[in-house]
Structure 1
Amino acid sequence: MTVSISLPLAHQTSAAAALYLQVQLAINTHDGQLIFTTLSNAEPTLMPALLRQLTLQERVLTWTFLSKVSPELAANLLDHYSNTEMVQLASALPDNCVNTLFPYLRSSDRRILLNDLPNKQQTKLQQAMPSTWKAAEEASLTYQAYTAAGICKNEVVKLSQHATVSQLSQFLHDDEQHYEYQEWRYVFLHDPDGRYLGGLKLKDVFNLPPDSLLQDYLDASLPVIKPDSDLQALRSQLNNTPHPVLPVVDSRGLQLGVVGFKQLNEALYRQSKQQLLEQSGVFGGDEFRTMPTLKRNIRRLAFLLPSVVLSYAAVSIIAQFESTIAQFALLAAILPLVANLSGAAGNQAVAISIRELAVGTISSKDWLYVLAKEIPIGMVNGVLIGAVLALLSYFTYGEEQLALPLLVAMAYMISSTLAVLIGGALPLLLAKLKLDPAMLSSPLLTTLTDAISFLSVLTLASMILL
């Protein structure tokens, strides 16, 4: 198969463009060794731009050929792609290629593939999984993504309860066990049924006699983490122990892996990035312009179409005051001003509530506490900004309509106060209903603040100006 050459991106250097042409040459000649040599010798700074420029067809061919020569390098290069792009690529690769790459992936990446690939591919991967991983991997998949089990690292050194120092030494020298992502700092012991017994630091073993039993030196200070612990509980436990990683053990005594600050910080970053995307109306994970256009359209429409309905409902309020607007055309300029500023105030409260829910400072039951804290903020800011708007309205329109500045100030004070109350409480209500606050708060708040702003301005106009 011959792949057509596409133009390099405008911001690429000549070195990056030359590297891209070398990769295309290797793809067109089906030369896996040349792909390996080109990518392994390339400047690391050029790699992200190069891999992102490859089309999906070029990516499939690159990873198909490279996995036959160096599956470890092929797995490592997947780190340059987002989770969405990695799943898209794995879905398009031949099954034997994915099976070859699977043992070399990080445990977090393996879980993503086992969760997001089509069912047929998931089944084949589970069948190809090494027996030493299978129980822990399958158990991890039963827990939520942002829990200790959902983020833990499965590649740990596990030995039987009767293992000796010499057996550990043999294990460490076994080439089959030398995966790049292995957790080498600790050794964990298990009974014949696979139940966790304890662990000890690898560095504490080196000076022991070769025939010493490892179980005699287990570290009693090493705590275990429950697999369903959320990120905040996990952070608390890690902060209160001198150990860099902790074992994750379920109620059956099965060790699912280990978790430390590295896994915790990566999970917190992914969670905050996901929330930011959802607040911006981008659902389904990362979006890149290399993705299929239809898929990008559908994902964006999932946010835009409900927003159309909600916005139309808010705007319909204006139709009820058609005669008022006909008499005072200046209201057409006031309505979006009050609505936009009120929405901004409400979004501030939404952001604080979502953040506090994420870090565990508040729960869905604390709505009275949130309202009590937001009322003074909304009222004070409403009065201050309302006064500023009144002055601006007076200098702009005061000579034509002296009551207009008072109307603007009162309308903003009312709508702003209600906006921060709704913005503060809405994420808690959505969390209580088991809905995603980050995904739904923004469109719902926009509709409600628009409706309140329009209603307050037009009602006050009917009372004051008529």
Structure 2
Amino acid sequence: MTSTVARPDAEDHVALDEDYVLTAAFVEKVVDAADAADGMGLRGLLEDLHPADVADLMGFLTAEHRGVVVLWLPPELLAETLPELDDGIREEVLERVPHGTLAEALQELDSDDAAAVVEDLEDDQRERVLAAMPETDRAAIESSLGYAEDSAGRLMQREVMAAPQFWTVGDTIDHVRLQGDDLPELFFDVYVVDPLNRPVGGIPVSGLLRAAREARLTDIMEPINEIAVDQDQEEVAYIFEKYHLISAPVIDAAGRLVGQVTVDDIVNIIQEENREDILRLAGVRDEDRGSSVVEIVQGRVPWLAINLFTAVIGASVIGWFEGTIQQIVALAILMPIVSAIGGNAGTQALTVTVRALATRELNSSNAMRTFLRELVVGVANGLILAPLIGLATALWFRDENWRIGLVIGAAMVLNLVVAATVGVLTPVTLSKLKFDPAVSSAVFVTATTDFFGFLIFLGLATIVLL
């Protein structure tokens, strides 16, 4: 694996600054070399970079420059860079790599990373690349692609270190030394299996090295957390996070060991899921540096259209109190304050609730307690903010009607209660109905706080001031 990183103190060129970010000067050198079709110069610039830095570099380059750079990457560096690329950029890069070169590069990867790359290929290119690979590697990739996209089977790597029950520590260590090239490039645990290849325990590599050679594996093995091959990747990530796992065996329906999931894959899944939830809360689909304007617009317009519809509903409330606003013009100035504060409070409660659902800190056993807590928080926030806005409003419009301060203060408290209510109940209800609470909750919460914010404020104004 390429591990050398060009640091800022390198004499020949500065690739990374002190924050591990590619420098503009280095990117410019790469662009100049690509423009000059200086392949050896490009190779000299890139060969010492870590694959993650090469992936970052690809994001800074245009499609034309990426097409030149990728052709001069050594197969091993190309292989390790492909899984690091943003999805859109990877698809573009794969179109430019000759199938023979790509087949050679994929053989350098573990089966899970290779399958992730092959998945992005067009059908005809996939067939050519797989046909150019050795039968064993091809079969491993095709087997991985046979599992559901978000399952443990797709996530796992098939390379795994397993040892039979009757082996000793010495037998295991000797096997590792003799079969090194056929073992996973990186593994953390040795899985002890029975005659039917079902895992019965695991031994950390550190524990194996500390034990005496004559010790039996069954005497030093530890319990393991097995992952079903069809288990959802979010469930797998939760198990890893809860039990602080570094790796875990994957079993098929018959309980046989078919692969393993390692923590580096789980980190990627957690980051991916968190990013997805954040984007969905904002009504935006996944975008990266390779996304086109058309793709971005297509992803955002539908949610903006929904927001437009909900905004019209909120604005219709204002029409109901047109007469009140005509008589007390100050209401038109103040009513956005009530809805805005309610929207922000609702978003706070919503974000906390969605996170609690995602991390499984919130379930039916504590849902009511969580709801009541947020309700109390809403009332407390309202009681703190109401005197402030009420006093400021009374002083501001004292020549018109000082009671406006009382109205907006009371409306603030009530709308914050509404915000807390919908901020908790909306994602919980959607989750119960098997919908993703991060997708549509934000739109509903904002629309509700706007609607009730206008209704409460203008309704109280009509009752108290007229």
Report the TM-score, using the length of structure 1 for normalisation: 0.79
SS in 2 for 1:184: coil
Farther off after superposition, 272-281 or 362-371: 362-371
Partner of 2:327: 327
* Identity within the alignment, %: 21
TM-superposed deviation, 1:200? 4.2
Question: Aligned residue pairs: how many?
Answer: 434
Aligned CA distance change for structure 1 residues 295 and 322 (closer, same or farther; 3 Å): same
TM-superposed deviation, 1:396? 0.9
User: C-alpha distance in 2, partners of 1:311/1:141?
Assistant: 45
For 1:247, which of 246, 249, 259 is the aligned residue? 249
TM-superposed deviation, 1:34? 5.2
Farther off after superposition, 445-454 or 456-465: 456-465
Aligned CA distance change for structure 1 residues 354 and 216 (closer, same or farther; 3 Å): closer
User: C-alpha distance in 2, partners of 1:438/1:117?
Assistant: 30
SS in 1 for 2:161: strand
User: C-alpha distance in 2, partners of 1:114/1:322?
Assistant: 61
Partner of 1:73: 77
User: C-alpha distance in 1, partners of 2:50/2:320?
Assistant: 65
Aligned CA distance change for structure 1 residues 123 and 287 (closer, same or farther; 3 Å): same
Aligned CA distance change for structure 1 residues 112 and 132 (closer, same or farther; 3 Å): closer
Q: Partner letter of residue 78 of structure 2?
A: A
TM-superposed deviation, 1:217? 5.7
Written as runs of structure 1 = structure 2, the 5 A alignment for 1:151-230 is 151-158=155-162, 166-172=174-180, 174=181, 177=182, 182-188=185-191, 195-196=198-199, 199-202=202-205, 204=208, 219-227=220-228, 228=231, 229-230=235-236
Farther off after superposition, 79-88 or 433-442: 79-88
Counterpart check, 1:22 vs 2:33? yes
Q: Deviations over 1:18-65 (max 9, x none)?
A: 23212343xx46x4x654333104699975663222222432443345
Partner of 1:8: none
Partner of 2:437: 437
TM-superposed deviation, 1:408? 0.3
User: C-alpha distance in 1, partners of 2:98/2:356?
Assistant: 44
TM-superposed deviation, 1:224? 3.3
Do the aligned partners of 2:339 and 2:449 also contact (CA within 8 Å) in 1? yes
Partner of 1:38: 45
TM-superposed deviation, 1:246? 2.8
Partner of 2:450: 450
Written as runs of structure 1 = structure 2, the 5 A alignment for 1:37-436 is 37-41=44-48, 47=54, 50-66=57-73, 70-78=74-82, 80-90=84-94, 93-105=97-109, 109-110=113-114, 112-113=116-117, 131=136, 134=139, 138=143, 142=147, 145=150, 151-158=155-162, 166-172=174-180, 174=181, 177=182, 182-188=185-191, 195-196=198-199, 199-202=202-205, 204=208, 219-227=220-228, 228=231, 229-238=235-244, 244-283=246-285, 285-288=286-289, 290-363=290-363, 367-436=367-436
Farther off after superposition, 307-316 or 244-253: 244-253
- In structure 1, the gaps of 5 or more residues are 1-10
User: C-alpha distance in 2, partners of 1:363/1:248?
Assistant: 27
Do the aligned partners of 2:140 and 2:158 also contact (CA within 8 Å) in 1? no
Q: Partner letter of residue 66 of structure 2?
A: R
TM-superposed deviation, 1:215? 8.2
Q: Partner letter of residue 278 of structure 1?
A: R
SS in 2 for 1:37: helix
Please provide the CA RMSD for this pair.
Answer: 3.7
Partner of 1:4: none
Q: Partner letter of residue 231 of structure 1?
A: A
TM-superposed deviation, 1:271? 2.2
User: C-alpha distance in 1, partners of 2:197/2:138?
Assistant: 12
Partner of 1:460: 460
Q: Partner letter of residue 337 of structure 2?
A: L
Aligned CA distance change for structure 1 residues 362 and 306 (closer, same or farther; 3 Å): same
Do the aligned partners of 1:349 and 1:424 also contact (CA within 8 Å) in 2? yes
Q: Partner letter of residue 20 of structure 1?
A: V
SS in 1 for 2:283: coil
User: C-alpha distance in 2, partners of 1:193/1:64?
Assistant: 46
Q: Partner letter of residue 74 of structure 1?
A: L
TM-superposed deviation, 1:449? 0.8
Farther off after superposition, 260-269 or 191-200: 191-200
Q: Partner letter of residue 72 of structure 1?
A: E
User: C-alpha distance in 1, partners of 2:148/2:365?
Assistant: 24
Q: Deviations over 1:66-109 (max 9, x none)?
A: 3xxx3210122335533443345336655545433333345554
SS in 1 for 2:47: helix
TM-superposed deviation, 1:393? 0.3
